[in-house]
């Protein structure tokens, strides 16, 4: 069942989203050649506690860190380690915040140093696909409209959407109904209604869409070793559209 949040609950989630966005802005500025993903995780953990919140991912289904750090062919859920980021890598940061009883979730993908034009295009396509999907998140539409918009744009650019992972509802639980696929048909799925809050997260590959589990037991990688990018918003449906609760350029706590 898809829950409907009250305006008061959405206001709390917006506070949590602002905390999350502020932390992500800090992490974004830190991503560079030579830094380890564990250093990024440590900063994320310290900051979320500083702002009176908790990390959503730490301990969730046994996950051992606050921040997901996925590099190159890793799609999502990469575990921070002593691995150093290298010139030419692409790095996806996925972070969740638990604040006053509610979760917020967001992800970005960054190129490090010199990356190819095609790699840059992969990242830009994934971000634009999220924007296209977000435009469909309004009352009277269906979740299939979001899925279709994402898939249509990604495939028009010669890339593929991951079909075995998806977006999700969010609120008092990190993962709630519905599951929101990155592929589908217009008009399919549940109707979108005011008060719904969910995460849209296109995961896009430069090669085949099939995936495999990483050796760390948590991450997912492209089965063919091709590069992957990932962006995510938490959005709340309003009367005439939606409000992005985790928009990075509005962060202002640091």
Q: pLDDT per residue over 61-110, tens digit each?
A: 999 999 999 999 999 999 999 999 999 999 999 999 999 999 999 999 99
> Is 199 in contact with 13 (CB distance < 8 Å)?
no
Cross-strand pairs, 107: 94, 232
What whole-number distance in Å separates Cα of residue 125 and Cα of residue 177?
A: 27
> Against a cut of 0.75, is the pTM above it?
yes
Cross-strand pairs, 131: none
Domain boundaries, the chain: 7-248
Angle between helix 37-50 and helix 7-30 axes, rounded to 10 deg: 140
Q: Which helix (H) or strand (E) holds 143?
A: helix 143-156
CA distances from 236 to 4, 127, 154, 165, 192 (A): 10, 19, 24, 21, 11
What whole-number distance in Å separates Cα of residue 182 and Cα of residue 34?
A: 33
What whole-number distance in Å separates Cα of residue 193 and Cα of residue 83?
A: 43
Check whether domain 7-248 has CATH 3.90.230.10, yes or no: yes
Q: pLDDT per residue over 180-237, tens digit each?
A: 999 999 999 999 999 999 999 999 999 999 999 999 999 999 999 999 999 999 999 9
């Amino acid at each position: 069942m898809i829950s409907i949040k009250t305006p008061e609950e959405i206001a709390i989630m917006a506070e949590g989203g602002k905390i999350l966005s502020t932390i992500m802005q800090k992490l974004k500025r830190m991503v560079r050649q030579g830094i380890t993903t564990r250093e990024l995780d440590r900063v994320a953990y310290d900051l979320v506690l500083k702002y009176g919140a908790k990390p959503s991912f730490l301990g969730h289904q046994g996950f051992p860190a606050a921040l997901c750090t996925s590099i190159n062919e890793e799609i999502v859920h990469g575990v921070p380690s002593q691995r150093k980021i290298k010139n030419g890598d692409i790095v996806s940061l996925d972070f969740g915040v638990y604040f006053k009883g509610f979760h917020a979730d967001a992800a970005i993908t960054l190129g490090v140093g010199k990356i190819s034009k095609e790699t840059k295009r992969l990242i830009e396509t994934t971000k634009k696909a999220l924007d296209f999907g977000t435009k469909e998140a309004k009352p009277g539409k269906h979740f299939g409209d979001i899925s279709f918009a994402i898939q249509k744009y990604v495939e028009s650019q010669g890339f593929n959407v991951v079909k075995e992972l998806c977006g999700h509802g969010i609120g008092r639980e990190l993962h709630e109904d519905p599951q929101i696929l990155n592929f589908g048909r217009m008009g399919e799925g549940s109707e979108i209604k005011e008060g719904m809050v969910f995460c849209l997260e296109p995961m896009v590959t430069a090669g085949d869409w099939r995936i495999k589990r990483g050796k760390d037991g948590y991450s997912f990688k492209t089965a063919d070793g091709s590069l992957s990018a990932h962006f995510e918003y938490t959005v709340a449906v309003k009367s005439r559209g939606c409000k992005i609760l985790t928009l990075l350029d509005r962060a202002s706590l640091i």
